[in-house]
Amino acid sequence: MEPNNKVAIVTGSARGLGRAIAARLADDGINVACWDLNLEGAQETAKQVEAKRVKAAAFKVDTSCAEDIAKAIAQTREQLGAITILVNNAAISPFKKFMDIDEAAWDQTMAINLKGPFLCCQAAIPDMLQAGWGRIINISSSSAQTGAKSMAHYVASKGGVIGFTKALALEYAETGITVNNVPPNFVNTEGLREAPVDVEAFAKTTPMKRTGEPRNIAAAVAFLASDDADYITGHTLSVNGGRYSN
């Protein structure tokens, strides 16, 4: 597709879901700013995006740090233009039994998974308000819908993302900005393969008997970022192979 004037920020785009989302948005002609703590990975994603004949830029960003975000927002505007799409994907997925979760682990999870989207939204929304058009897509988690053992801090943070999405959607419903979230379930990424989970065995317990693929999440994000989704806001678009129905 021919490039357009839309600019998307995709956080956590050095690999996995973030990389797939960035590439899928590029397929729709959207210019992409790739944000991640892993600059080398973000740069590789940006190269893949540019190969699709759109503009891209990569920035090293700690999305739990307001100073980092302010700097990256300014650089994104300078290199690509005003921000019209924000995908809050950056997150950590720690496993730890509840009584072993210390305050530092709890705070770190909340800072990255919940405070990060809050800070990024505050930084990006002014551009969207000025344009009278914006799309915010938060990546939550099916674990916030079903619960998950040994992940209380992660589940709590992602449950917060779902609630945050609904509140923000109502606040900005009249402005042309939509706010939605996508909770993936058991998607075949590097992060899943690194987790203390028997991937093949667990996949057999799911309705479709297989893992999801990053492209499945990316397609959902691309739809919510499109003009076709202009009457959808505050929505949880579950992409989980039938594991949870809502």
pLDDT band at 164 (very low <50, low <70, confident <90, very high): very high
Neighbours of 27 (CB within 10 A): 14
pLDDT band at 4 (very low <50, low <70, confident <90, very high): confident
Question: Would you state the pLDDT for residue 142?
Answer: 83
| Whether pLDDT at 149 is above 80 | yes
Residue 201, in any domain of the structure: no
Rounded mean pLDDT of the chain?
92
Residue 27 maps to which CATH number?
Answer: 3.40.50.720
Examine the residue annotation and report whether 172 is marked as an active-site residue of this protein.
Answer: no
Residue 165, in any domain of the structure: yes
Residue 86, in any domain of the structure: yes
Residue 33, in any domain of the structure: yes
Q: DSSP letter at 35?
A: E
Share of the chain above pLDDT 70, in %: 89
Over residues 183-219, the pLDDT tens digits come to 987 676 666 556 666 667 666 677 777 777 889 999 9
Distance CA 65, CA 46 (A): 22
Overall number of domains in the chain: 1
Residue 206, in any domain of the structure: no
Residue 99, in any domain of the structure: yes
Q: Which two tokens stand for residue 185?
A: 């379930």
Catalytic residue among 154, 172, 231, 244: 154
Contact between 135 and 177 (Cβ < 8 Å): yes
Residue 199, in any domain of the structure: no
Question: Would you state the pLDDT for residue 199?
Answer: 60
Range of the domain at 166: 7-185+215-229
Cα angle for residues 68, 73, 74 (degrees, 5° grid): 105
Which of these ranges, 31-35, 97-101, 139-143, 231-235, has the smallest mean pLDDT? 139-143
Over residues 54-110, the pLDDT tens digits come to 999 999 999 999 999 999 999 999 999 999 999 999 999 999 999 999 999 999 999
Average pLDDT over residues 138-142: 93
Question: Would you state the pLDDT for residue 195?
Answer: 63
Question: Would you state the pLDDT for residue 189?
Answer: 61
Residue 244, in any domain of the structure: no
What is the number of alpha carbons within 13 Å of residue 46 lying toward its C-beta?
21
Average pLDDT over residues 14-29: 96
